Amino acid sequence: MDESGSLPFIDEHRLDVAAPPSRVWAALIRVVSRLGGGGILPRILGCDPLHAGPEFVGRVGDAVPGFRVAAVEPERRLELRGRHRFAEYALTFRLDPTGLTAVTHAGFPGLKGRAYRALVISSGAHAVVTRRLLRQVARAAGA
């Protein structure tokens, strides 16, 4: 279950980052602020939230397409939550002195949800995207 205890665990990915947590945190906020960037996928999936807020700085309630900040501990933890037609999910980033971890929890209700899980999770696509996201943060942190 996720940190709120409501969603099943999906996976966890970690990347060592040779940069201080303050730089990794700033890079994480920049990278997350560009998620969903006006593409058509959030509309097709029916994401909630669908639109970004006026400014994403990593505060509770800040939003980008598909994710809203649910909890934050600056330079330690950023929990994003969202939902769409096929899933409800949480993506939590944890920072420590040596790296960054991304933990995903999600529920996939109904037949369409199970089909979506097979396409995105079981296929390995989610893992590829999550690891790419971690590498983007590391690069943005100058590591």
The DSSP secondary-structure symbol of 19 reads: S
Domain-located, residue 19: yes
- pLDDT > 70: percent of the chain: 95
88 domain-assigned = yes
The DSSP output letter for 3 is T
Asked whether residue 27 is assigned to any structural domain, the reply reads: yes
CATH of the domain at 135: 3.30.530.20
Is 42 contained in some domain?
yes
* pLDDT value of residue 40: 87
Task: Give a yes or no: residue 1 inside a domain.
Answer: no
The mean per-residue pLDDT over the stretch 18-41 comes to 90
Report pTM.
Answer: 0.93
Domain count, the chain: 1
Q: Point out the least confidently predicted range of 21-25, 42-46, 80-84, 96-100.
A: 42-46
Kindly state whether residue 4 falls inside one of the protein's structural domains.
no
| SS3 state of residue 87 | strand
By residue range, what is the domain housing residue 118?
A: 9-140
Mean pLDDT of 99-121: 97
- Distance from chain centroid for Cα 94: 11
Residue 68 has a pLDDT of 96
Give me the pLDDT at residue 2, please: 52
Q: Dihedral sign for Cα 106, 42, 53, 30, please.
A: positive
For 32-77, the pLDDT digits (tens) are: 999 876 678 888 898 888 888 778 999 999 999 999 999 999 999 9
Cβ atoms of residues 83 and 47 within 8 Å: yes
